[in-house]
Amino acid sequence: RQTGTVETDAEKHDVEYLTPISIGTPPQNLIVDFDTGSSDLWVFSTEMAAKDIKGQAVYDPNNSSTSEKLQGSTWQITYGDGSSSSGDVYLDTVTIGNLTVPNQAVEAATKVSDEFTDDANNDGLLGLGFSSINTVQPTPQNTFFDNIKNNLDAPLFTADLKHGAPGSYNFGYIDPAAYVGNISWTPVDSSQGFWSFTSPGYAVGTEAMRNHSISGIADTGTTLLLLPKSVVKAYYEEIQGAQYDSNQGGYVFPCSPTPPDFVFGVSDGIVTVPGDMVSYAPVDSANQDCFGGIQSDTGIGFSIFGDVALKTSFVVFDAGGLQLGWGAKN
């Protein structure tokens, strides 16, 4: 049985967190976006048109002595922001930190949407959702975590994302030095392929908790905290000058003073999103107004606890107990 760890780096404004992996023999090093909200491991590849590649590293299956084409298999995925990619599939060796899966399905892109082409530092995505939503046809493939979890000391991984600083993903163990106090555990409903849970309530600033069930997914690949419209409205009502700005496509408010904290319940515990993390980023060069890190989940069908929520905590994704653990960072 083994354990592993890998460092992940925050992009500007923590818009995404990029993590190094290596694929093939000899190893080809790429930097990808670990995404607990999807379940495909796909990468930029030599099978793409040159015009769709702008600075990314690419996987070349022909340059790997261990690659094996999964004949007849294809994949196509669309993300929450409408971006998309598609291609074909190889089995090859994938290493993350000190952990290696010999026959991992590596989805080589033949096409990616402009958003991916324009995201120069991102060479692909590594899904950490449940394999039931892997898009490979005709036979869906396992995620890296599903392939390795039975070889781990425990079938879990942890995400310790930081605000504007490198964080880490650990596999197979809970690092007691990473959190203080007790971890709050809440059951996961994996029936839709996500790490889905229900928060019992929320509070704005120092006010009392409101009983209000919020069902959503823990999604490392989504930047913001997307909540029900009524909750978002109640939060921004507490900020002088906050308003919904249709040009920006969300709530905007004066960058100072610091807005109130946002607190949500996790089973018997609470998670506090500090006000200074709710000021996601200045909307203008004069830095007067800030775009909110809390926005509405309208149209999605569930809430999304993205990086704005996750980076406040040490989060345990426990596939054995089918539960999520939220701990206060050390």
Ligand X SMILES: O[C@H]1CN[C@@H](c2nc(-c3ccc(C(F)(F)F)cc3)no2)C1
Residues that bind ligand X (CB under 6 A): 16, 33, 35, 37-38, 79-81, 83, 115-116, 119, 122, 125, 219, 221-222
Q: Which is nearer to ligand X, 35 or 160 (CB)?
A: 35
CB of 326 to ligand X, least distance (A): 19
35 labelled catalytic = yes
Q: Which is nearer to ligand X, 21 or 125 (CB)?
A: 125
| Cα–Cα distance, 87 to 134 (Å, whole number) | 13
CB of 279 to ligand X, least distance (A): 22
CB of 2 to ligand X, least distance (A): 27
Q: Which is nearer to ligand X, 133 or 231 (CB)?
A: 133
HSE toward the beta carbon, residue 213, CA cutoff 13 A: 5
115 sits in which H/E element = helix 114-117
Q: Of these residues, 199, 296, 303, 313, which one is catalytic?
A: 199
Residue partners of 206: CB distance under 8 A and separation at least 6: 260, 261
Q: Which is nearer to ligand X, 91 or 108 (CB)?
A: 108
How many helices and strands, by DSSP H and E, does the chain display?
A: 5, 24
| Cα–Cα distance, 181 to 176 (Å, whole number) | 10
Q: Could you tell me which of 250, 255, 248, 297 has the C-alpha nearest to residue 277?
A: 255
118 labelled catalytic = no
148 sits in which H/E element = helix 144-148
| 254 φ/ψ sector (left φ>0, alpha ψ -120 to 50, else beta) | beta
CB of 114 to ligand X, least distance (A): 8
Q: Which is nearer to ligand X, 55 or 102 (CB)?
A: 55
CB of 239 to ligand X, least distance (A): 26
- Grouping H, G, I as helix, E, B as strand and the rest as coil, residue 49 is coil
Q: Of these residues, 14, 33, 35, 297, which one is catalytic?
A: 35
Query: What residue is closest to ligand X based on CB?
Result: 221
Active site members = 35, 199
